[in-house]
Amino acid sequence: MAINKKSKAKAKSNSEKISNFSKFFNKSVKSYKEKTGRLPWQRGWHITNNTPWFNHVNAVNNKVYGYFMNQIILSMSAEENGFTSNKWISKGNIQKNNGTWKGSATWVYGWFFWEEDMKDKDGKTLKDDKGKIKKRSGFNFRTFPVWNVDQCSNLPEKLASEEVEAVEYTPLEGRLDIAEEYISNIGAKVEFGKNGAYYKPSMDYIGMPNFEQFKTPENYYSTYVHELVHWTKTKDRCDRADNHKTRKAYAFEELIAEIGAVHVMNNLGIQMDQDAFDNHLAYVDSWLGALDDDTTFLVDACMQAEKAVKFLNSFQTKEELKKVA
Ligand SMILES: [Zn+2]
């Protein structure tokens, strides 16, 4: 009997897979908050107890894992399990290197390119006028397991877990200069001497109190960068709907600004000021509530934050980005 193609299990669509991933991500973030009393990106940048934070790499090629959410997932897992390495490795690469692993995997995600020949309904390959096979292509969303090298044994020296060397940090003063340069390269219109920090879309400017009015330089830059993320929301920049009519829409935009600011500050090497988070605690609960009826709320916010940060980075020269990396 011929195989009935229709009886094959239907491959899950990207949106179904993203929805499943979102549920998993929401659950992890909520349970992290219950256990630690804060959100995973509110831990601050400085590394304590040698636990890596937001700088997780593939052990084989030393490349930083793409996407904010992967960095959040790997950071939560490293903290929870007490891993001291920021290197992660796939099952295939552990086996290829004759290593072994113990304990559970941490799941990250990526987009994978696919391409295939186009066929007609009888299964015949379609060709264009010039006789070239027609192709169709796209990207598939996929989650995959990785293990921290702390969980592995018998890996070759270059992949293995090693003593994390104390990082030599640029002194704070130098980092503040870099932050100043980063901000001035963006060239957003700003007016100082205001009573609060805000972005005013109708006039397209950022209002800021004077530098001296902030308790610390970290507080000043955390606030400034947060407003810069809001500044990216206009149609000609990142084009995020400007609708603050509902509490949920307001929480969404604030969440983007918070996550985006954390990543910029992390790149600049400046500790995010705790006050910057405390000011926002009131609506955190409102968006945590929103997760139950809108599963992709948090995932969308992370993706929008990533887009905003890429936009802000686009004003920097490659040299400057290297300096802050
Ligand atoms: Zn804000």
User: pLDDT, tens digit, for every residue of 143-165?
Assistant: 999 999 999 999 998 888 665 55
- 91 within a domain of the structure (yes/no): yes
Position 1 scores a pLDDT of 42
- 103 within a domain of the structure (yes/no): yes
- The phi-psi region of residue 107 (left if phi > 0; otherwise alpha if psi is between -120 and 50; otherwise beta) is beta
Q: Is residue 264 helix, strand or coil? A: helix
Q: With a cut of 50, say whether residue 7 has pLDDT above it.
A: no
Q: What is the DSSP letter of 41?
A: G
- CB neighbours of 321 closer than 8 A, spacing ≥ 6? 313
CA of 257 to the centre of ligand 1 (A): 6
Same domain, 179 and 305: yes
Q: With a cut of 90, say whether residue 227 has pLDDT above it.
A: yes
Closest-CA residue to 191 (of 204, 177, 178): 204
- CB neighbours of 82 closer than 8 A, spacing ≥ 6? 51
Distance CA 78, CA 56 (A): 10
Number of domains in the chain: 2
- Note the helical H segments in the chain: 14-36, 68-81, 91-96, 172-186, 217-231, 247-268, 274-278, 281-290, 297-313, 318-324
Position 294 scores a pLDDT of 85
Same domain, 316 and 192: yes
Same domain, 226 and 113: no
CA of 196 to the centre of ligand 1 (A): 11
CA of 30 to the centre of ligand 1 (A): 22
Q: With a cut of 70, say whether residue 278 has pLDDT above it.
A: no
Same domain, 141 and 178: no
CA of 145 to the centre of ligand 1 (A): 35
Q: Which of 153, 182, 217 is the last residue of a domain?
A: 153
Distance CA 46, CA 40 (A): 13
- 161 within a domain of the structure (yes/no): no
Q: With a cut of 60, say whether residue 166 has pLDDT above it.
A: no
CA of 89 to the centre of ligand 1 (A): 37
Position 2 scores a pLDDT of 44
**Which is more confidently placed, 171 or 110?**
110
User: Are 287 and 325 within 8 A, CB to CB?
Assistant: no
State mean pLDDT over 239-249. 74
State mean pLDDT over 56-73. 90
Single-letter amino acid, residue 235:
K
Same domain, 147 and 70: yes
- 251 within a domain of the structure (yes/no): yes
Q: With a cut of 70, say whether residue 5 has pLDDT above it.
A: no
Same domain, 177 and 298: yes
Same domain, 182 and 139: no
Same domain, 286 and 250: yes
Closest-CA residue to 74 (of 49, 96, 106, 98): 106
Same domain, 199 and 231: yes
CA of 225 to the centre of ligand 1 (A): 10
Distance CA 81, CA 278 (A): 27
pLDDT digits (tens, 9 = 90+) for 16-39: 999 999 999 999 999 998 898 888
Position 6 scores a pLDDT of 45
User: Are 74 and 65 within 8 A, CB to CB?
Assistant: yes
Angle in degrees, CA 321, 324, 325, rounded to 5: 80
Query: How much is the CA Rg of the chain, to the nearest whole Å?
Result: 23
CA of 198 to the centre of ligand 1 (A): 7
124 token code pair: 């015949």
State mean pLDDT over 72-78. 92
CA of 250 to the centre of ligand 1 (A): 9
**Which is more confidently placed, 291 or 73?**
73
User: Are 297 and 291 within 8 A, CB to CB?
Assistant: yes
Position 137 scores a pLDDT of 92
Closest-CA residue to 220 (of 206, 209, 207, 231): 209
State mean pLDDT over 46-52. 53
CA of 227 to the centre of ligand 1 (A): 6
- The phi-psi region of residue 154 (left if phi > 0; otherwise alpha if psi is between -120 and 50; otherwise beta) is left
Position 140 scores a pLDDT of 94
Distance CA 26, CA 77 (A): 14
Distance CA 143, CA 131 (A): 37
CA of 110 to the centre of ligand 1 (A): 29
Q: Which of 119, 153, 187 is the last residue of a domain?
A: 153
- 6 within a domain of the structure (yes/no): no
CA of 253 to the centre of ligand 1 (A): 7
Same domain, 177 and 97: no
Prediction pTM value: 0.82
- 80 within a domain of the structure (yes/no): yes
Q: How confident is the model at residue 282 (pLDDT cuts 50, 70, 90)?
A: low
CA of 192 to the centre of ligand 1 (A): 17
- The domain containing residue 223 runs over which residues? 172-324
